Every structure is written in C-alpha cells, then in structure tokens.
Amino acid sequence: MCREHAHELGEIEGKASSTIKFERTKLTMCREHAQELGKNMQGRLSVIVSVYNEEENLQQFQTTIEKAMVQVASMGWEHEIIFVNDGSSDKSRNLLDSFAENDSHTKVIHFSRNFGHEAAMIAGIDKASGEFMVCMDADLQNPPELLPEMLNKYLNGDDIVLMSRAENKDAGIIKRITSKAFYMILNRLSTVQFEQNVSDFFGLSERVAAVLKQDFRERNRYLRGFIQSIGFRKSIIEYKAPERYAGVSKYSIRSLFRIAMHTLNCFSVTPLKAGALASIVSLTMMVGSFLYYIIFYIRNGFGSGTALLCSFITFLFSILFLLLGTIGEYLGMVMTEIRKRPIYIVMDTKNLNENEEDV
C-alpha cells in the first residue's frame, strides 16, 4: 500500500537517499491511515537534535529517526523534529534546510554563531510544542530506536527519562576513569546526588520543560544536572552507545575540563570554603616545622631551617594562588550572570512560526 502511494521527494544536495524517501513516505502513509480510521492523536512528541558540523551523519540520522517516527505514529502520537544548528561551518545547514522543505514536521533553528551544545538544547526546549520532549545528538550514539521506549516511560507517569550508558564503545579507559572520578567528587561536594553515566540524551515532560524555561536560565549551566536536581518522578533506561557513524567528537580534553569546572561551580560552593581547610593545614605544618626545628636544635646543638622555611613558604603560596583562582572562577560566573547576555541568538528558522523566533 505504501509503495502504491509513494511519491518523489526533493533531492538533498542533489544526492537524495532512496532509503530516506521510502521511510518518509511510509511515515506519511501511517499518518494518513490513522486519519482514515478516525484515530485521534494522543499527543505530540518533540525530538530536539543539536547539530554542529555533522554533515557526514545527518542523512543516516534522518533515515534512522524516521523509522522510529513510524513506530511513534503507530502509537497514536504526532511528532516534530527540531534540529538546532549550532553555528556549523560545513554543509549541515543546507542538509537541514532540505529536510525541512521535504517534511513540515521537521523544523530547523540556525544560530548566528556557535553558542555551545547546551545552548542548542535549551533553544530546542524553548521552541518545542510537544507534551513530551527528547534531547539527543545527531552522531547516532544516541539511538533513535529507543524513542518509543522513552515515550512509554512517559505514558507510565515518568516526568523525566534519563538515558544511562551501560557501554560506550568510543570511550577509552582514561575517559571512563576520569568520568567516574568526576561524579564521585561531584556527589561528595554537592547536595544533589547525580546518576553516573547519564548523557545528554534524555526525555522530559512539558511541565518539567516549563520549569527549565522559567527558572533555569543560567548562562553557566549543566543541563543534565539541572533535570536531575528539580525533582519529579524519573526513570532510567540503560543502553549501549554505539560508535559514531562518522566524524569525531567535538569535545576536546580542554572543553571537557571546562565543563567539569562549571558543573562543580554550579552545584557546590565547597571550593569557596577551602580557605578554612587550607588555614588549618598551614597552621599544622607551621607547628610541625617549629617542633622539628626545636628537636633538631636540641639533638645537634645547631639548627638551620632555611630549606624547610622555603618549602613551607612555597606551599603557602601554592594554597594562596589556588584559592585566588577558585574565587576568580566564581566571580567570573557571577559577572556572566549579571550581564544577562542571551544564551543564544537565532539567525534563521525553517517551519517555525514567526512569533517563535525570539531569543
């Protein structure tokens, strides 16, 4: 039946995928069949996809997610796919515009420049109109095949659906060790306990999204931490993250370290209290050094504490500069929040209403 009603769709950059055409046509037929049967749609699923230089992945991602949307439509749910182009410098923009031209359920937001992965997710949440929203990446390490299972969790009453990586084929042993150490430190310093191995692949209900839109507009943010800290009923789905379909990760060691520092600063003020601990340590070392000098003098009849004194002073300066750096990091975050500059700036959109284009 689907083949009889299949029609030609526009080419994507002159090289349209026949597989994409077939899945898109099958999805259209599924919607039409539901309407013919008088089946009322139960709700709308919004899928938010952040994109940054993913031209090698987008066509395969579109094919895969349209297969998942066929299952979503069979559950009686409408859908929208919101691609957020985070200032890509490759052909991602042209591909996304082609997707939007061929399917009115596909919407595109183009940033004026690169604002970061989390800004892209926030923009998608701001513009989404669904009762249930899912944030994911376009590198196919967040399997679209799991979208129906996430939707079922929401239908069972969960406001937040966290996706936990039971296995990540692209993560080396160093990354796994540092990730585990990071969460251990974060959970010790923060009043909120965070789930390990949770990624930026998650689902949230409309009322959770409303809280994020209204109360969590910070410029320094950790979105997956925010959704774990606001409460509500949640569930966790474990999945195996496959290797990237193409390309390489856009996160460098430096950017991951910066995210880790921002996260600690967002959810803990303990580093600011380190001065009190440092003063205790310094006082203990000073007393110990003084006792060592007295004992050495009594036993040998002379004493020269020059080397010991230099080491002690060096240690104190190290502590001092560490504390100054910590205070500077927090002051920098305060300055960023006070300025209240936009989290993102939208340059252009596709298939979004005009009144939805404000920042």
- Read off the pLDDT band of 279 (50, 70, 90): low
Task: Name residue 6's amino acid.
Answer: A
Work out the angle at residue 14's Cα, subtended by the Cα atoms of residues 12 and 18, and round it to the nearest 5 degrees.
Answer: 60
Phi first, then psi, for residue 240 (nearest 5°) are: -100, 120
Q: For 18-173+194-261+347-356, which CATH superfamily applies?
A: Spore Coat Polysaccharide Biosynthesis Protein SpsA; Chain A (3.90.550.10)
User: What pLDDT digit, counting tens, does each position of 132-191 carry?
Assistant: 999 999 888 899 999 999 999 999 999 999 998 876 655 567 766 777 777 677 667 767
Q: Residue 353 pLDDT more than 80?
A: no
Distance of alpha carbon 130 from alpha carbon 40, whole angstroms: 16
CA distances from residue 346 to 64, 122, 138, 153, 339 in whole angstroms, order as listed: 27, 12, 20, 32, 19
Please, which pLDDT band fits residue 38 given cuts at 50, 70 and 90?
very low
Cα torsion angle, 303, 307, 311, 314, sign: positive
Q: Residues near 297 by Cβ (< 8 Å), separated by ≥ 6?
A: 303
Instruction: Show me where the domains of the chain are located.
Output: 18-173+194-261+347-356, 270-339
- Among 204-213, 225-234, 278-287, top mean pLDDT goes to 204-213
pLDDT value of position 311: 66
* CA dist., res. 133 & res. 278, Å (int): 45
Which residue has 């990540």 as its token pair?
168
Q: Which residues contact 221 (CB under 8 A, 6 or more apart)?
A: 118, 122, 262, 266
Alpha-carbon 306 to chain mean position: 52
Residues paired with 202 in a beta bridge: 135, 162
Lowest mean pLDDT among 14-18, 23-27, 223-227, 320-324: 14-18
Structure token digits, residue 129: 């109109």
**How far is Cα 142 from Cα 136, in angstroms, rounded to an integer?**
6
Distance from C-alpha of 283 to C-alpha of 277, rounded to nearest angstrom = 10
Say if residue 331 is exposed, middle or buried (CB neighbours under 10 Å; 0-12, 13-18, 19+). Answer: exposed
- At residue 36, the pLDDT reads 46
Mean pLDDT computed over 327-337: 73
Amino acid in the structure at residue 163: M
**d(Cα 297, Cα 174) in Å, to the nearest integer?**
48
pTM (predicted TM-score)? 0.69
Q: Tell me what pLDDT residue 45 has.
A: 95
Looking at residue 243, the DSSP 8-state letter turns out to be P
- The Cα 248–Cα 271 span in angstroms is 34
The tokens of 97 are what?
């515009």
The answer to whether 124 and 84 have CB atoms below 8 angstroms apart is yes
- With H, G, I as helix, E, B as strand and everything else as coil, classify residue 251: coil
pLDDT band, very low/low/confident/very high, at 338 (cuts 50, 70, 90) = confident
Q: Is 336 helix (H, G, I), strand (E, B) or coil?
A: helix
